[in-house]
Amino acid sequence: MQRLSRRGFLAASASSLLPRADCAATAPAPYGSLPSPRQLRWHELELYAFLHFSINTFTNKEWGYGDEDPALFNPAAFDASAIVAALKAGGMKGVILTCKHHDGFCLWPTRTTGHSVRKSAWRNGKGDVVRDLSDAARLQGLKFGVYLSPWDRNTPLYGTPEYVAMYRAQLRELLTGYGPIFEVWHDGANGGDGYYGGARETRLIDKRAYYGWPQTWELVRSLAPEAVIFSDVGPDVRWVGNESGIAGETCWATYDPVGEDGGMAAPGYTRAKEGETGHRHGSRWMPAECDVSIRPGWFWHPAENARVKTPAELMDLYYKSTGRGASFLLNVPPDRRGLLHENDVASLCRFGDLLRATFSDNLAAGAAAHTTTVRANDPSFGPLNLIDGDHSTYWSTDDSVTRAEVSLELPRPVTFNVVRVREQIRLGQRVEAFALDRWEQGAWKNFAHGTSIGSCRLIRLDEVVTTTRVRLKITQCPACPAISELGLYQQPAAS
Ligand code: FUL
Ligand code: CA
């Protein structure tokens, strides 16, 4: 067994993905489909918020028909800073606003339709929810994203080519007028009955052809190159396939969406269940996003004030979304005042406290690391990279070594109930199976195993474990592993 000291590692800590001039070892070749730079940035977020806020907030509906009087929108105490502050306390790194939901009411003073805040009673028609929220988010260090419903039940144009032009014009306004946008969210729910300017009829569209998605995505790329595009079919981030906030226990970041009939897929036309696991050898990097509401509905309803998810339930969802390599998109709907309800805020804050209490301290820090193998015996690929808090450094082996183990020898007995493992995803998703052992009464004892790792794998234990050594075994991997973190954490009890 080889032992590498911390000092030795620090002396050679300039590990990089590129070959170093003074060092013989080159980085492993990437495996399979790879993330783009914008996807890599998105992976760092892991947890962000959804705000469903619209005319529905005032009519007590989930889906407005499109004939609602815009004057009804009047959140007299709307306070974007207070909303964003509560989200930040909940650990959110960004926020995505429903700028227009299916009812067609626009939360910004768009030039594309009269059906907007301009005609509302709020601030005498001079307000702009998108402006206030995007400003507040930026000021408080959260990223801002836009949801723009492709389905519009208000406009008489829906179903014609003119509507597609209108949708793109709305995107243009949102992507050019409100600063950097981190994510553009295209809903898969589209087509059906609606007001449509008074026609009050059913309008079905061909989900694969009507919207001209490739051209729309090109527009988004040209206006907001930094933004990831979300939909049932990506292209950057995929829907996980359910609205319960849960990714598959095995969840691959790679995916090739398939249409309901087995042919071409489109937003609203996929075999949704496949989004939960992705495809092991998918030809595209298209990680999952898990959307779920803190309440039963997406919009605020007075009858649901007592049905807000508890901090313990939110933690559970975090382990089942972020902890499976996906992102956690938590909806917290503002109420009629234009604020988050007290119950939601209380739950969010406690959730944020739990996250901070759990993950601010890697209990493995300061450990010694032992391994059977290090790539070219080069410390810049050594096992101390697992506990340096840096996602870019990683432990790796020679190309021919695809089963390997590493153990951490802790300076003192450590008590934990959460393990976090991360792969260096710039090199693709490599590991297919792993196991975790602890040292107990002079022998290794297995306490967990799993399949996919990817950007983040959290293993939550039913009981706390106290030990002086932990071992990670990579048991199945088609290429040499590249593991960037092995962390031990203790989550306090949640209620
Ligand atoms: C669905 C919509 O129909 C819901 O109203 C909500 O916006 C959810 C996030 O997506 O498809
Ligand atoms: Ca590292």
| Ligand 1 and 189: CB distance under 6 A | yes
State in Å: Cα 187 to ligand 1 middle. 7
Domain residue limits, the chain: 2-30+362-489, 37-359
Separation CA 198–CA 157 (nearest Å): 11
Q: Phi and psi for 272 in degrees, rounded to 5? A: -55, -40
Q: Is the CB of 46 under 6 A from ligand 1?
A: no
How far is the centre of ligand 2, averaged over its atoms, from the C-alpha of 169 (Å)? 43
Pocket-testing residue among 53, 54, 59, 187, ligand 1, by greatest number of atoms within 8 A of Cβ: 187
Whether 355 and 317 have beta carbons less than 8 Å apart is answered as: no
CATH topology of domain 2-30+362-489: Jelly Rolls (2.60.120)
C-alpha angle with apex 338: 297 to 130, nearest 5 degrees?
95
Does the predicted model carry a pTM greater than 0.75? yes
Which ligand is nearest the CA of 292, by number? 1
Residues, CB-to-ion distance under 5 Å, ligand 2: 385, 388, 390, 393, 484
Q: Does domain 37-359 have CATH number 3.90.79.10?
A: no
Average pLDDT, the chain: 95
Q: Which of 105, 243, 289 to mutate to test the pocket of ligand 1 (most atoms within 8 A of CB)?
A: 243
Quick check: 143 and 134 in contact, CB under 8 A? no
Q: Whose CA is nearest to atom 3 of ligand 1?
A: 189
DSSP state of 255: E
- CB of residue 230 inside a 6 A radius of ligand 1: no
| Residue 232 CB–ligand 1 contact under 6 Å | no
Q: Strands, E, within 368-432: which ranges?
A: 368-371, 395-396, 404-423
The one-letter code for the residue type at 347 is S
DSSP per-residue letters across 480-492: --EEEEEEEE-PP
Answer yes or no: are the C-beta atoms of 369 and 386 closer than 8 Å. Answer: yes
Beta strands 94-100 and 143-148 are parallel
Ligand 1 atom closest to the CA of 291, numbered from 1 = 9
**Ligand 2 center to 91 CA (angstroms):** 22
CA of 416 to the centre of ligand 1 (A): 38
Q: In this predicted model, what pLDDT tens digit does every residue of 143-157 receive, in sequence order?
A: 999 999 999 999 999
Provide the residue-wise pLDDT of the chain in tens; the chain has 495 residues. 333 333 223 223 333 344 444 445 899 999 999 999 999 999 999 999 999 999 999 999 999 999 999 999 999 999 999 999 999 999 999 999 999 999 999 999 999 999 999 999 999 999 999 999 999 999 999 999 999 999 999 999 999 999 999 999 999 999 999 999 999 999 999 999 999 999 999 999 999 999 999 999 999 999 999 999 999 999 999 999 999 999 999 999 999 999 999 999 999 999 999 999 999 999 999 999 999 999 999 999 999 999 999 999 999 999 999 999 999 999 999 999 999 999 999 999 999 999 999 999 999 999 999 998 999 999 999 999 999 999 999 999 999 999 999 999 999 999 999 999 999 999 999 999 999 999 999 999 999 999 999 999 999 999 999 999 999 999 999 999 999 999 999 999 998
Give the C-alpha separation, 324 to 459, whole Å: 9
Q: How many CB atoms lie within 10 A of CB 302?
A: 10
Report CA(297)–ligand 1 centroid distance (Å).
10
Q: Which ligand is nearest to the CA of 9?
A: 2
The span from the CA of 193 to the CA of 203, in Å, is 6
- Measured from the alpha carbon of residue 96, the closest ligand is 1
Tokens 């996919």 label which residue? 452
Q: Do domains 2-30+362-489 and 37-359 have the same CATH topology?
A: no
Regarding the beta carbon of 291 and ligand 1, being less than 6 Å apart is answered: yes
Q: Cβ–Cβ contacts within 10 Å for residue 473, how many?
A: 18
| Ligand nearest to the Cα of 393, by number | 2
